[in-house]
């Protein structure tokens, strides 16, 4: 599986795509898959991150999601922010066609 | 146009039923992702950053109005009201849900369409000249050969599990609009001095990580032997192609490693075997049957000059510009070929909304024998329009933002989906193309600059053909930041060339200015009437290097 995080990253969250429609989702503290990054559980440090990744397994086994992986985030005053351009785009939709979908619903993420 | 025969109908319906069953079993959990992934890839379904993506085959780029309307319908019902035409003349939808895919495939099958041969390690959908049947210097309609190859390769058991995907392109004119020299096999239709039609064969072209220009291995394969010859190439490839390393598994690497002479020798030896067996000899009746599908439409006999057209050109400057860049000569007097640009200023190259699809379907029905073409440069073509109807067609297109007068000009760019959609991307492509488009929006200036092709890819897979852009832009990732590497002097026509890297990569903030500098340098150095690519061939990369980097 592709690596989308950084060695030594302090904060990481867990993402996947939902099986039925491919939509990007994040694992929450109470083991739900949310479409909002703001609801994601953020793990601090390597061990917590590994434990978070392990919690994806049941959802892969019961075919809720596919391709789960960890990625780096930052915790900021206005919420959780993805560290890379790639994960920002996954979170907030393409940076084009700003009239549609998540791009339209989450103004301010793609400045 | 080609119509399915019963055999095709049955195959496609069986395939839809089979894949629908597989999707149902995946959703219910009977199939795991590992089991399902190769099956979905055989049916054109990819998983992208945000959603699934469905790639629909448009064989050799020809569509009926009815088929286009179905694509519009699918875009509206199952997607977000738009689709994306690709450099392989196919259509991609960016947002279908997996659970809807069986219904989409059923809708497609109702108009004889499907997603077969659009992904996986098979012989992919054959691509061809968008001017097929209409081009002035055409020797034979390339869709005949394309269709023969399609019938031979679809579901050919030996070709479903090749070392890698395999791409074939065909052109019937000496000026190549199908980029045949960057395909695994390129076929140039030729004629000998006795007027017999045959095929010049190029092999081992490709882009991606290791760009290569196809090498000619046959000057004249007679018509009846074409499939035997292609089968011979496939056998050599299947025998030697490297399955252990995906980067080396393409035929271009094989040809590069054993050399063109050895490749030729091996193919000739296999060819003799295949021919002896005789099963792939193409019977004349069969060829005639397929030729009949591509019979010329019922042209009217018209004077070549149209007074209506001449008047409109004088009266309407915007229309005159459009005629200059978007209209090409037709082989029949009184007719013209119309190119519909899918590159409006600031738009996404190749994107087309469902409403626009319906509009072009109506225009094609009314003015171009009910038929449309998709081009590998991500535009559409109306192949047979009466010259006297050109102004009406222009006005109808304009209402739907489809009359941008920029074919082959600097804003007629190719761009892959890049990091906005693609899971493999390093950098974004579309916003860059949009910025460049806005910078050069002035149509008079574009015409002044002349023919110039900018191609952008978001990673080394080169879906955006950056290696063969006159100006090529490749997105690279440096520690999570997008950078853009520029190549100059590429071309995908009959003088195919891979571009030269000009120097260190540019940031997102620098790249549009860098393009401007390249253009200004060209304008300063060009001889009168000289195209960018010809100036580049004459003066080389140095002057561009100087102007790009000396001030930085
Ligand atoms: C967004 C989903 C896409 C994915 C995941 C994807 C993936 C790939 C990959 C992995 C390759 C390299 C294959 C190899 O080296 O053998 C490739 C090549 C290519 N793709 Fe795509 N692609 C996508 C979209 C597109 C689009 C939208 C176009 C047209 C604009 C396109 C046109 C091509 C072409 C022409 C090549 C051939 C390059 C060559 O000759 O080696 N692809 N693609
Ligand atoms: S070139 Fe790379 S980024 Fe662009 S579509 Fe192809 S795989 Fe994706």
pLDDT tens-place values along chain B, 552 residues long: 556 666 677 888 888 899 999 999 999 999 999 999 989 988 889 999 999 999 888 888 899 999 999 999 999 999 999 999 988 788 999 999 999 999 999 999 898 887 777 666 677 778 889 999 999 999 999 999 998 888 888 767 667 677 777 888 999 999 889 899 989 999 999 999 999 999 999 999 889 888 999 999 999 999 889 999 999 998 888 887 656 655 557 889 889 888 999 999 999 999 999 888 877 777 788 888 888 888 899 999 999 999 999 999 999 999 999 999 999 999 999 999 999 999 999 999 999 999 999 999 999 999 999 999 999 899 999 999 999 999 999 999 999 999 999 999 999 999 999 999 999 999 999 999 999 999 999 999 999 999 999 999 999 999 999 999 999 999 999 887 899 999 999 999 889 999 999 999 999 999 999 999 999 999 999 999 999 999 999 999 999 999 999 854
The tokens for B265 are 């020798």
Count of other CB atoms within 10 angstroms of residue B147: 22
Look up tokens 């959990």; give the residue: B29
Distance in Å from the first CA to the final CA of chain B: 55
Q: How far is A101 from chain B (nearest CA, A)?
A: 8
Query: In which element (H, E) is residue A66 found?
Result: strand A65-76
Q: Is residue A110 part of a domain?
A: no
For residues B283, B285, B291 and B297, what is the CA-based torsion angle, rounded to 10 degrees? 170
Q: Is residue A13 part of a domain?
A: yes
From B46, B458, B469, mutation site for ligand 2 pocket: most ligand atoms within 8 A of C-beta: B458
Give the C-alpha separation, B205 to B419, whole Å.
Answer: 26
Q: Report how many Cβ contacts below 8 Å link chain A to chain B.
A: 77
Kindly determine whether residue B97 and residue A21, on different chains, have CB atoms separated by under 8 Å.
Answer: yes
Q: Is residue A56 part of a domain?
A: yes
Kindly determine whether residue B428 and residue A66, on different chains, have CB atoms separated by under 8 Å.
Answer: no
For the CA of B459, the nearest atom of ligand 2:
2
Q: Is A83 on the interface with B (CB under 8 A)?
A: yes
Q: Name which of B150, B166, B156, B155 is nearest B241 in CA terms.
A: B166
Question: Which of A23, A84, A85 is closest, CB to CB, to B51?
Answer: A23
Q: Are A64 and A55 in contact (CB under 8 A)?
A: no
Kindly determine whether residue A84 and residue B480, on different chains, have CB atoms separated by under 8 Å.
Answer: yes
Q: Is residue A47 part of a domain?
A: yes
Q: How far is CA B279 from the centre of its chain?
A: 32
Q: Are B77 and B83 in contact (CB under 8 A)?
A: no
Q: Which residues of chain A, if any, have pLDDT below 50?
A: 1-2
For residues B357, B361, B367 and B370, what is the CA-based torsion angle, rounded to 10 degrees? 140
Query: In which element (H, E) is residue A57 found?
Result: helix A57-61
Count of other CB atoms within 10 angstroms of residue B368: 25
Closest residue in B to A35 (Cα–Cα)? B50
Distance between Cα B463 and ligand 1 center (Å): 4
Q: Is B39 on the interface with A (CB under 8 A)?
A: no
Which segments of B239-300 are extended strands (E)?
none
Residues with CB under 6 A from ligand 1: B 46, 48, 53, 86-88, 92, 164-165, 182, 206-208, 250, 416-417, 421-422, 424, 461-463
Q: Is residue A111 part of a domain?
A: no
Alpha helices in B408-477 (DSSP H): 430-439, 443-449
Instruction: Give the mutation candidate from B29, B30, B40, B50 for the A interface (greatest A CB count, under 10 A).
Output: B50
Q: How far is CA B296 from the centre of its chain?
A: 23
Q: Is residue A87 part of a domain?
A: yes
Q: Name which of B290, B277, B339 is nearest B61 in CA terms.
A: B339
B541 CB burial (10 A radius; 0-12, 13-18, 19+): middle
Closest residue in B to A92 (Cα–Cα)? B50
Please indicate whether residue B204, judged by its CB atom, sits closer than 6 Å to ligand 2: no
**What ipTM did this prediction achieve?**
0.91
Give the C-alpha separation, B136 to B305, whole Å.
Answer: 16
Which chain A residues are within 8 Å of B97, Cβ to Cβ?
20-22
Considering Cα of B189, then B132, then B43, then B97, what sign does the dihedral take?
Answer: positive
Distance between Cα B462 and ligand 1 center (Å): 6
Could you list the residue range(s) of the whole structural domain that residue A101 is in? 3-105
Which chain A residues are within 8 Å of B27, Cβ to Cβ?
19-20, 63
Which chain B residues are within 8 Å of A104, Cβ to Cβ?
none
Please indicate whether residue B162, judged by its CB atom, sits closer than 6 Å to ligand 2: no
Which chain A residues are within 8 Å of B480, Cβ to Cβ?
83-85
For B517, which DSSP code? H
Give the C-alpha separation, B145 to B226, whole Å.
Answer: 9
Closest residue in B to A72 (Cα–Cα)? B480
Residues in chain B: 552
For the CA of B422, the nearest atom of ligand 2:
8
Instruction: Output phi, psi for B331, to 5 deg.
Output: -75, -15
Closest residue in A to B424 (Cα–Cα)? A2
Kindly determine whether residue B482 and residue A23, on different chains, have CB atoms separated by under 8 Å.
Answer: no
Give the number of whichever ligand sits closest to the CA of residue B459. 2
Q: Are B78 and B454 in contact (CB under 8 A)?
A: no
Give the number of domains in chain A. Answer: 1
Distance between Cα B55 and ligand 2 center (Å): 14
Where do the domains of chain B lie, and which CATH numbers do they carry?
6-110 (3.90.480.20), 134-293 (3.30.413.10), 307-398 (3.90.480.20), 419-549 (3.30.413.10)
∠ CA B125-B128-B131, rounded to 5°? 145
The three-state secondary structure class of A12 is: strand
Q: Is A70 on the interface with B (CB under 8 A)?
A: no
Q: Is residue A49 part of a domain?
A: yes
């Amino acid at each position: 599986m592709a690596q989308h995080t950084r060695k030594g990253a302090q904060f990481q969250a867990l993402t996947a795509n939902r099986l039925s429609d491919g939509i990007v989702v994040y694992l929450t503290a109470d083991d739900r898959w949310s479409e909002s990054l703001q609801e994601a559980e953020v793990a601090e440090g390597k061990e917590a991150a590994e434990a978070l990744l392990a919690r994806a397994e049941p959802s892969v086994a019961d075919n809720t999601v596919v391709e789960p992986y960890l990625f780096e985030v930052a915790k900021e005053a206005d919420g959780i922010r993805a560290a890379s351009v790639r994960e920002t785009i996954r979170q907030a939709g393409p940076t084009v066609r700003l009239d549609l979908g998540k791009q339209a619903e989450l103004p301010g993420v793609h400045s | 146009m080609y119509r399915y025969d019963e055999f095709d109908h049955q195959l496609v319906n069986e395939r839809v039923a089979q894949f629908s069953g597989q999707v149902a079993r995946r959703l219910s959990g009977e199939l795991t992702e590992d089991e399902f992934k190769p099956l979905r890839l055989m049916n054109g379904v990819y998983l992208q950053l945000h959603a699934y993506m469905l790639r629909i085959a448009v064989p050799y780029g020809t569509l009926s109005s009815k088929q286009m309307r179905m694509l519009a319908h699918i875009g509206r019902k199952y997607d977000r009201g738009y689709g994306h035409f690709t450099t392989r003349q196919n259509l991609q939808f960016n947002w279908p849900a997996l659970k809807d895919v069986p219904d989409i495939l059923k809708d497609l099958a109702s108009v004889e369409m499907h997603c077969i041969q659009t992904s996986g390690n098979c012989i992919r959908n054959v691509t061809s000249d968008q001017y097929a049947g209409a081009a002035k210097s055409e020797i034979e309609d390339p869709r005949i050969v394309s269709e023969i190859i399609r019938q031979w390769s679809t579901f050919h058991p030996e070709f479903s599990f090749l070392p890698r995907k395999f791409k074939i392109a065909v052109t019937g004119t000496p000026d190549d609009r199908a980029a045949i020299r960057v395909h695994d096999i390129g076929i140039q239709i030729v004629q000998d001095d006795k007027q017999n039609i045959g095929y010049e064969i190029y092999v081992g072209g490709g882009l991606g990580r290791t760009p290569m220009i196809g090498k000619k291995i046959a000057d004249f394969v007679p018509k009846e032997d074409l499939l035997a010859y292609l089968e011979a190439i496939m056998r050599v490839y299947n025998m030697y192609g490297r399955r252990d390393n995906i980067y080396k598994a393409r035929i271009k690497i094989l040809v590069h490693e054993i050399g063109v002479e050895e490749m030729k020798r091996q193919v000739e030896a296999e060819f003799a075997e295949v021919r002896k067996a005789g099963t792939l000899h193409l019977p004349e009746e069969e060829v005639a049957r397929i030729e009949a599908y591509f019979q010329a439409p019922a042209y009217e006999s018209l004077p070549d000059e149209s007074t209506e057209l001449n008047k409109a050109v004088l009266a309407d400057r915007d229309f005159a510009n459009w005629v200059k860049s978007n209209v090409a000569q037709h082989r029949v007097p009184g007719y013209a070929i119309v190119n519909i640009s899918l590159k409006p200023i600031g738009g996404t190259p190749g994107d087309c909304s469902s409403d626009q699809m319906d509009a072009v379907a109506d225009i094609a029905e009314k003015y171009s024998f009910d038929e449309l073409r998709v081009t590998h440069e991500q535009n559409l073509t109306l192949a047979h329009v009466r010259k006297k109807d050109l102004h009406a067609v222009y006005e109808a297109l304009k209402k739907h933002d489809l009359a941008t007068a920029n074919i082959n000009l600097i804003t007629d760019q190719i761009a892959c989906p890049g990091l906005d959609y693609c899971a493999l991307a390093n950098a974004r492509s579309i916003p860059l193309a949009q910025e460049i488009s806005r910078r050069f929006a002035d149509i008079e200036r574009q015409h002044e600059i002349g023919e110039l092709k900018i191609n952008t890819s978001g990673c080394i897979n080169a879906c955006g053909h950056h290696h063969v852009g006159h100006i090529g832009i490749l997105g690279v990732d440096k520690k999570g930041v997008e950078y853009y590497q520029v190549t100059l002097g590429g071309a995908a026509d009959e003088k195919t060339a891979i571009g030269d890297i000009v120097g260190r990569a540019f940031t997102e903030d620098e790249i549009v200015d860098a393009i401007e500098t390249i253009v200004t340098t060209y304008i300063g150095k060009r001889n009168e009437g000289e195209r960018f690519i010809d100036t580049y061939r004459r003066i080389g990369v140095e002057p561009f290097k100087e102007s790009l980097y000396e001030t930085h």
